Structure 1
């Protein structure tokens, strides 16, 4: 396993914007995090504004000139949005087409028709994992929870027995599997290979979601035996099956970007020649931008046409899909700005210097940092972006496989113990009609299981690759 080393940045060291010593930098980092946490939790300030102010506070506490701190923040914001902004937008469009066309309902209904009894929790994991591939976590919850409630009500199932597997599927996809924005930002910050990260992410996600989903749901059902809240049972959309796209075309459309990116990763492993025509072709079609763009274009025909969408309706759907992601883009961008300020202040080098004699593996350190930021801010995305910025220097001497595992260690840590400062916590509480205590014993514990199991699997995998 790759260990921390002070020589990591020797070749590519960047002159920091401050001459602060390690003690001052450490205090500056803690103070900046305290500012961000206070602004988000106590003053209810939007995460974009909190991260922006926190970045400037970091520069000020570290003794950096204000103009240089501003330059670091704007540079990081710009590069982050440039790297993942288009991908987030394409993913949002694909998710909206999937929802509005009835394609999501078609996948759900088809799988549920084949499952019943003890198989239902496993069916919910499958549904959530497939639907969750192109969707943001919050969008996935809004889309799936009504289905979860109806299945539990109609089939007289325990709400937690059905709900926890669905939530686990969504959460694991969100934290570990690109093209979700969190993993994409970490891949960009660390310089990891997307295809390798995707392959390892799927490999780790499968056992993780099984343990945190169907298996844990048995315990959760005993801890929170609550009825389905009737007030949260809305009528289902797209009841006219004749206007829904088919199951297999819908499934193929959802999986298309994943297949293209995995194909690129496989070709890269088989062919190690940058001049090879085959590899160059797959480098293009397997890039995240082309893969997601291809899926969106295909979705217009495989999802929009069968649903009877006109050109005007397709244009309207695309526009509606883009509208809700403005806040996400700004948060991700500001997180990138905060990350760059951390790097330019010399925090990454400080971590290497201070921890050079530690025996903590780099992957475990990355997981612990992400856990700390997640607990403090309540945001998995902020935790991923910030932790990626702090540990990015550790990837400088890592192999391709270990750099990918570093991204997954960060993603796993970012999911640890969602609690009252996380919007997802309240979303789950309200949809399921739970008390705060019941939400902590079910949703929060489920998130912790995902984080710990995925983190452990990352460490185990690092020993054999």
Structure 2
């Protein structure tokens, strides 16, 4: 069977199961992986085992990182560390720059915490500020979304960018740094849109009464800013230390110091140490019983296990597309020179993720599916001409795409924010479309100016 037909069947299965059968991303991606493997060349006795092996390889590569990230995120919320980061940001910028403060808070917190959780955390602050000033509510909402959605899409250890980095062979340091370098200016563009759209939508205080809960009273003060930021900064410092240490100090494998740096800079070790730090901050701050601590960690791992399964299924789907030789088939549609050019692959990756986002709604699934397809197209060696991190970022921005009523983020934003569907389209949908296009153009520009990333 033609590899392109196999690719089309795989895409239709993912979209069909998610959109029409509503069985969820795990079932969709796993079913697509099984079908693609059955249709791809090879011995029949190997077709299911190779799919299962690819599933296990992906889970082994990123499972610990995702599990640690869920623990970090929950402990940050429980200890009050997230609140400390937000309050410190508000203090730094002041109430008059509340939009910038909320955008920055969302940008930082969405590194270890998933977008919907960050939004739930910050929306009450936006509502409280609106209660005090009586204005700028829409600005605050859109500012939160602009900051939080960018790092959720571009910066590991959230599942989408983590999967892309693994699939496209991008080291964590480069993914984090380049994602942040491009992501923050994009978030500022989103903040600019927040200021503009704020004057176009009028929301009466009466309509928002039920969405304006009283501020909660804390039973204990939050941890220090240093302790709050430590679980976020620690893995970044450890992982990047290996990258920059090897570059500037040399890779001396006979040196005990270098070997210690290698061990601590492993992404699994770094994230587990950060999780331990987050637990210590939580325990010192709230003094939970062992039963309460165990319960909270189990809750974290329960949510993380679902994400690990979805991510592993996405990896299995991508591996089976490679087995079906989809990359060669796509390259034959174009000239050999064009198909191997980095900018061409960036455009293809962006377009695939954009279309998948429109079709099935999930940005994470779009990133997984599109990066799996693009990974099959990457030429060997340095023939592509750019660092693969730019492919990952292009796919990430494509996955922002057009977010509408089939995207859970659309409903989180509208219902938690107290907006109508039409107001959500003018704010959330428009914001993500702007970030998608602006971010992709900035990625192209950086790829031209700095093709090797560092």
TM-score of the pair, normalised by structure 2: 0.90
Aligned to 2:429: 444
Which residue, out of 228, 235, 246, partners 1:268?
246
Matches within 5 A, 1:165-176: 165-176=143-154
Instruction: Report whether the alignment pairs 1:417 with 2:402.
Output: yes
Instruction: Report whether the alignment pairs 1:253 with 2:231.
Output: yes
Aligned to 1:136: 114
Give a deviation string over 1:180-215, Cα, whole Å, max 9, x none. Answer: 211111111111222122211111111111101x20
Matches within 5 A, 1:287-436: 287-357=266-336, 358=338, 361-393=344-376, 394=378, 396-398=380-382, 402-436=387-421
Alignment RMSD = 2.4
Aligned to 1:4: none
**8 A contact 2:37–2:323 mirrored in 1:** no
Quick check: 57-66 or 130-139, which moved more? 57-66
The 3 A distance-change label for structure 1 pair 340 and 75 is: same
Query: Distance in 2 between the 1:69 and 1:370 partners?
Result: 27
Instruction: Report whether the alignment pairs 1:222 with 2:199.
Output: yes
Query: Distance in 1 between the 2:310 and 2:434 partners?
Result: 26
Aligned to 1:281: 260
Gaps of 5+ in 1: 1-19
Aligned to 1:192: 170
**8 A contact 2:111–2:232 mirrored in 1:** yes
Counting matched residue pairs gives 441
**8 A contact 1:412–1:454 mirrored in 2:** yes
Give a deviation string over 1:401-455, Cα, whole Å, max 9, x none. Answer: 6122222222222221212221111111111222222212211121122222221
Aligned to 2:28: 50
Query: Distance in 1 between the 2:7 and 2:360 partners?
Result: 14
**8 A contact 1:159–1:225 mirrored in 2:** no
Query: Distance in 2 between the 1:395 and 1:195 partners?
Result: 23
Give a deviation string over 1:320-349, Cα, whole Å, max 9, x none. Answer: 211222322221111112111211111122
Matches within 5 A, 1:108-119: 108-119=86-97
Gaps of 5+ in 2: none
Give a deviation string over 1:67-122, Cα, whole Å, max 9, x none. Answer: 54423432222111111111111000011111111221222223324444541111
Query: Distance in 2 between the 1:400 and 1:302 partners?
Result: 45
Aligned to 1:89: 67
Quick check: 46-55 or 221-230, which moved more? 221-230
Specify which structure has the bigger relative contact order, considering alpha-carbon pairs within 8 angstroms and separated by 6 or more residues.
Answer: 1
Query: Distance in 2 between the 1:268 and 1:224 partners?
Result: 52
Query: Distance in 1 between the 2:372 and 2:146 partners?
Result: 27
Aligned to 1:5: none
How far off its partner does 1:126 sit?
1.3
Give a deviation string over 1:275-322, Cα, whole Å, max 9, x none. Answer: 263443332222221221111112222332022234443322211211
TM-score of the pair, normalised by structure 1: 0.88
Give a deviation string over 1:201-254, Cα, whole Å, max 9, x none. Answer: 111111111101x20102222343334633233455561343x21223212333
